Amino acid sequence: MLRPVTALLLALFALPVDADDLALRLQGSNTIGAALAPALVEGLFASQGLQAIETLPTAIANEVLVQGRDAQGHYSRVAIAAHGTSTGFSALKSGEAEMAAASRPIKDSEAQALRAFGDLTRADAEHVIALDGVAVIVHPDNPLPQLDTVQLAQIFAGEIRNWDELGVGSGPIHLYARDDRSGTFETFKTLVLDPHRQQLAGTAQRFEAADALADAVSRDRQAIGFSSLATSHASKVLAIADGHSQAMLPTPGLIASEDYPLARRLYFYLPAGQHNPLARALLEFTQQAKGQAIVARSGFIGQQVTPLSVPAQEHQPARYRRLAAAAQRLSVNFRFQAGNASLDNKALRDVQRVVEYLRQHDKLQRKVVLVGFGDAKDDAERADLLSRLRAMAVRRELAKNGVALREVIGLGEQLPVAANNDEQGRIRNRRVEVWVY
């Protein structure tokens, strides 16, 4: 929690902080660095028994210093700079940071530029710390309930310019967007603009900080913007549909399962060869229950496994409706690496989370049903087969941990959560749900 400081302390921190005085330097995503990263560091320090823990502002906007004192009077200090995801990877390369915070996956070009640090896409370097939804926000008085991704792309490209084109009032649409260094913008660009071959309109107002953008939208009746769900504040959040999926609000359950069209993962990147002990401790703490509780308190979605009741609906296949009527769906969806049936980095960790949940609730033996889904294929039978094979891949991992399944179901291209006309959408549709009796 940010605390007021004296003029003397402000003057002190107006000076550059000597890197030799710092136990860890973390740079990157504003979404993570604005509040979540400081809260996680404070939580780590508290778990280590440090005293006088505080987060102090510096003379530079979006940069803070988190410190705590041990029983011998020695300070541990972590410098956090939150200027956008791309700046974190640049800081790793230049040696100005030991760890990067990112609100999108590392790009191929960034991984190549950092190849001297090893493969940052590996599970021992890329760590999902939380889930988030990019929220599409408007003024609280705006009556618009929802949009699809086609409309959203047209709005932010400047092709739809007036609210009367959407049937809600009149007047010009004012666009608010994060800046080019932001992982939030990169996520929006990847999930909304790129699939529809659009570019952000030059008239959009750009923001480095998510809080500033959300506050501006909440004051402008003509506004529409996008930000992290955790920083939507007083703005109204719209439901979003992609392809043939139903319009979805960024609820905790839909973000946790990554079914919400603009769901995303938040990351810490730490090169496998980086032996900074505080960085390693922060990673471990963040994955623990106490760390994930801080994630939830900070407005993001933690990765704890919880059961969800899913109502049966007419558009669902009969087998799925029967399952929904008798069982509960877990909040985890297993997804796969691009181009193959291997579990991705998050899914590998989720296997252990699911096993622990099943063990705690005495559901290891024949209480679990896996439901596999895939993207559309020319041959529906092939789509069904591939979806079942993905579920079998998850079954193998669970079986290694003593889980005996009740059933494996493959539903092919049914119940899509994204459009199938681009690779990102197809990857999102290739998923395995976990249901428990």
For the chain, domains (ranges, CATH) are: 7-127+266-297 (3.40.190.10), 132-254 (3.40.190.10), 305-436 (3.30.1330.60)
371 exposure class (CB count in 10 Å sphere: 0-12, 13-18, 19+):
buried
Strand partners, 175: 224
Residues 6 or more apart from 334 whose CB is under 8 A from it? Answer: 343, 347, 350, 351, 390, 394, 431, 432, 434
Q: Compute CA distances 372 → 52, 394, 400, 407, 414, whole Å.
A: 50, 9, 19, 11, 10
pLDDT for 20: 54
Q: How far, in Å, CA of 223 to CA of 277, rounded?
A: 45
Tokens representing residue 379 in the block: 């041959």
Closest Cα partner for 245 from 224, 262, 264, 228? 262
pLDDT for 378: 74
pLDDT for 204: 98
How far is CA 294 from its chain centroid? 15
Q: How far, in Å, CA of 39 to CA of 2, rounded?
A: 10
pLDDT for 339: 67
pLDDT for 437: 97
- Name residue, tokens 């509780």: 293
Q: Phi and psi at residue 369, in whole multiples of 5°? A: -120, 130
Residues of the chain with confidence (pLDDT) below 50: 1-17
pLDDT for 419: 87
